[in-house]
Amino acid sequence: MSNRRDALVMSGGELAAFLQAELTVVCATNGPRGWPHLMPLWYVVRDGELWAWTYAKSQKVRNLERDPRATLQVEAGTAYDQLRGVMIEAETTIHRQPATVTALGVELMLRYAPPEALGDQSARAGIEAGVAHQAPKRVGLQFTAVRTTSFDHRKLAGG
């Protein structure tokens, strides 16, 4: 590798595993006064892309309607030698179709509150009913990477 920075980059498999393991992405959009607007989101990974949902009337959606560019960051670790993360510069597609938004909402809820964690056989039906109630007020956000940068300081020990 040409330099130390190259040695810290996550492989495709490492990056995919990292995104599956972590739970929160910070989404930066361009705010109305020219300042970055940062908000945390829950997400799922679909075909290598991050997807999230949020309220259709939220500031981040208004920002993305005006400018679809977003920068996403997922990070982990508390000590320097354990820090790892990914930054994704992305173009955002806003999905408003009820079926798309509902399916995404169910997928998110199953990731963050799976029925087995709730300890009830009827939990999935409850999740689906709750999502169906919320979906009309929400949109799906599909983030398509334009540029991705990753780092894993745990690799420093090996170098």
Angle 104-62-32 from CA coordinates, rounded to 5°: 145
CATH number for region 4-158: 2.30.110.10
pTM: predicted TM-score of the whole model, two decimal places:
0.90
Count of CB atoms within 10 A of residue 54's CB?
Answer: 20
Q: What residues contact 130, with CB distance under 8 A and at least 6 apart?
A: 109
Q: What is the mean pLDDT of residues 39-68?
A: 97
Distance CA 133, CA 121 (A): 20
Distance CA 111, CA 53 (A): 13
Which pLDDT score is estimated for 103? 94
The per-residue pLDDT for range 121-159, each reduced to its tens digit, is 677 777 888 888 999 999 999 999 999 999 999 998 754
